[in-house]
Structure 1
Amino acid sequence: MAGIRDAAHLCIDMQNIFAKGGVWETPWMERVLPVISEICARYRERTVFSRFITPERPEDRRGQWQAYFTKWQRATRGNLAANALDIVPELARYSPPALIVDKPAYSAFFGSRLGHLLVERHVDTVVVSGAETDVCVLSTVLGAVDLGFRVIIVQDALCSSSDAGHDALMTMYRMRFSEQIDLVSAAELFDMWRPD
């Protein structure tokens, strides 16, 4: 596998709402936090955190998002604690210099400035970590593929609330996207990508 240059680390939705005790608690988050923290520490200036920003009220979104947030009213900003959508403290300490990009949907590329930001920085490779493997990470990864980025997924830096969903996605990436997506461990990443 080729070395990594001109890359950005996209850390997807590692927010309090997904942490222990959050509305959308992701049980594995605590297990992958040390790995993600090490990635952020090595590539502080190359890290971009995404935050999934929920609407104030369900009717503030259109189409099926209204039905979704009607079911998940407790996840709307009108019902959340003030810090629920913040990046978890273990990672928030890296910003700045790490950047934060807010998004209204699953993909970090949808309704955000992320695509333009990466082009401005001459990024051609995105290194992906975060939550959840089979929802926001999936949507972001497919968006990155569509935009022509080389995608590297750090397998031991992903978390999900569904073991079956996580495992299915890892299999799909290997079998269906091997020309566009590489799966690596954090140790392999550190060998491939030397800090600037």
Structure 2
Amino acid sequence: MGQGLTNGPLGRRAAHLCIDMQRLFAPGGPWPTPWAPRILPAVLALVERAPARTVFSRFMPPETPQDMPGAWQRFYERWRHLTGEVLPPEMLDLVPELKAFAPPARAVEKSRYSAFSGPRCFPVLRRLEVDTLILSGAETDVCVLATVFDAVDLGFRTIIARDAVCSSSDTGHDAVLALLRARLPQQVELADTDEILAAWSPLAEP
């Protein structure tokens, strides 16, 4: 279990950052995360609490491996079927259950792991006057983890909805949550979605 919301209730400056819940990673997609459907109800509950304070990131592969620098070229040589020259563009869409919320939810694109690697994520959060991020999505041990460290470095109060994140690797998922619980307890809170919702009043002062 997570350690819970150790830093108190959430108010109007909190936002939900949902990472890469796209058809690309859904069952039946080319890069599936098998238990993404299990977390979808929890993700939806967070979105429904405050659609206008939800930001969706979308992972956008390059057109060809050569469009990326350095070691990313080797990565996309291995996964060439995920490049734009091969991948059907609809695979980059959010899963239908979430796409229906955008707008008022905002979507930002990225070509690397962290949601903050794209040019729009931080400016969008700044315009929303966000000081607290609730994280959900995929994958716990890759894009979620990369986003967590950037969020911490930028000074956000960072909360992981532990029942709203998933990975294609159970071992990796469990290891990351254990690592964050042990090593970053002052900067990363791990809580269940029900606990977050009970503490989050989007119209209230923080």
TM over 0.5: same fold?
Answer: yes
**Which residue of 1 is the match for residue 10 of structure 2?**
4
Letter of the structure 2 residue corresponding to residue 38 of structure 1: A
Match of 2:152 among 127, 145, 150: 145
Give the drift of 1:144.
Answer: 0.3
**Equivalent residues, number:** 196
Give the drift of 1:170.
Answer: 0.6
**Which residue of 1 is the match for residue 106 of structure 2?**
99
Give the drift of 1:108.
Answer: 0.5
Q: How does 1:24-173 map to 2 (within 5 A)?
A: 24-173=31-180
Of structures 1 and 2, the one with the larger relative CO (CA 8 A, separation 6+) is: 2
Contact 2:62 2:84 in 1 (8 A): yes
User: In the aligned structure 2, how far is the partner of 1:71 from the partner of 1:90?
Assistant: 31
What are structure 1's unaligned runs of at least 5 residues? none
Alignment TM-score, normalising by the size of structure 1: 0.98
Letter of the structure 1 residue corresponding to residue 84 of structure 2: R
Match of 2:29 among 22, 28, 42: 22
User: In the aligned structure 2, how far is the partner of 1:184 from the partner of 1:37?
Assistant: 16
Contact 2:22 2:93 in 1 (8 A): yes
Q: CA-atom RMSD, angstroms?
A: 0.8
Letter of the structure 2 residue corresponding to residue 150 of structure 1: R
Which runs of structure 1 show a deviation greater than 2 angstroms over 4 or more consecutive aligned residues? none
Give the drift of 1:111.
Answer: 2.9
Identity of aligned residues (%): 50
Letter of the structure 1 residue corresponding to residue 26 of structure 2: A
User: In the aligned structure 1, how far is the partner of 2:151 from the partner of 2:116?
Assistant: 8
